[in-house]
Amino acid sequence: APESLMQALEDLDYLAALDNNGNLSELGIIMSEFPLDPQLSKSLLASCEFECVDEMLTIAAMVTAPSCFLQAPPGTEEIARSCWRRFSHPAGDHCTLINVFNAFKAATANPTQPGNTEKWCRDYFLSCSALSMAEMIRAELVEIMKRIELPISEPDFGSEENLLSIKKALLSGYFMHIARDVDGSGNYLMLTHKQVAQLHPFSSYYNTRRIPEWVLFYEFSISEGNSIRVVSEISPHLFAELVPQYYFSNLPPSESKDILQEVINHLAPVSATKEEQK
């Protein structure tokens, strides 16, 4: 549909993947080397700048592969959720996926008996095939990074600086996927259009006391009950720091936009001072 085509071109423009003539920019050409969604490609390239490539490669592989969480049989939902909590990360679902992948790799590397990996996955209500596919996707992405001579930073997962870098890399590509909890009960209103969504049941925030106000999400699914999948908490200040101004100015009016505008106005004098110092 023409509307879909225009929206796609607009999104590529926001991601700086197009030049003024509508052709692929230098950044867009590099992004197109990866068999990923443009937003994910942009986040992966941004991770080179923020030195969290190893972690971003894992996230990219895990969200590209099918969901690693299995639908628990009736009556075992709480057991499954209890198993998944072992991998839960306070920074959100993206880091939780890194924990799951690292645990799977550890189980694969140290088999105590034949079929141990499959049993480990069953015990934790995880899909062995999805995790194996994520492993293959990650290896393919590493090969592409090496072929086009992009730097791959050393793993540093867990440090405060690394977690901040991951969120910056994610925001570089997913600034269009931001939502705010408008009433404190998990009803998230998306910035791009006035659509309300709830957390997906596989989210580490689902059925917890602590529901973040501002989140970045990987995708919005109408078929799964208007839910947002793979979400991580972000701060309005971090969003204001990384969002392209021309994208922000095109957002429809909303209370969330007003809140963010105040944050941007507050940051503006600080940014001007930094420029003067440079």
- With a CB cutoff of 8 Å and minimum separation 6, the contacts of 176 are 11, 14, 39, 191, 192, 247
One digit per residue, the tens of pLDDT, for the chain of length 278 reads 899 999 999 999 999 999 999 899 999 999 999 999 999 999 999 999 999 999 999 999 999 999 999 988 888 888 998 999 999 999 999 999 999 999 999 988 875 555 688 889 999 999 999 999 999 999 999 999 999 999 998 888 989 999 999 999 999 999 999 999 988 888 899 988 778 899 988 888 887 777 899 999 999 988 777 899 999 999 999 999 999 998 999 898 889 999 999 999 888 765 555 555 55
Confidence (pLDDT) at 115? 65
Q: What angle do CA 64, 71, 74 make, to 5 degrees?
A: 175
Q: What is the pLDDT of residue 105?
A: 93
Q: Residue 269's pLDDT is what?
A: 65
Backbone phi, psi, residue 201, to 5° = -55, -25
Q: Identify the DSSP state of 189.
A: E
pTM of whole model > 0.85?
yes
In angstroms, the CA 104 to CA 129 distance is 11
Long-range CB contact pairs, 20-26, < 8 A, 24+:
none
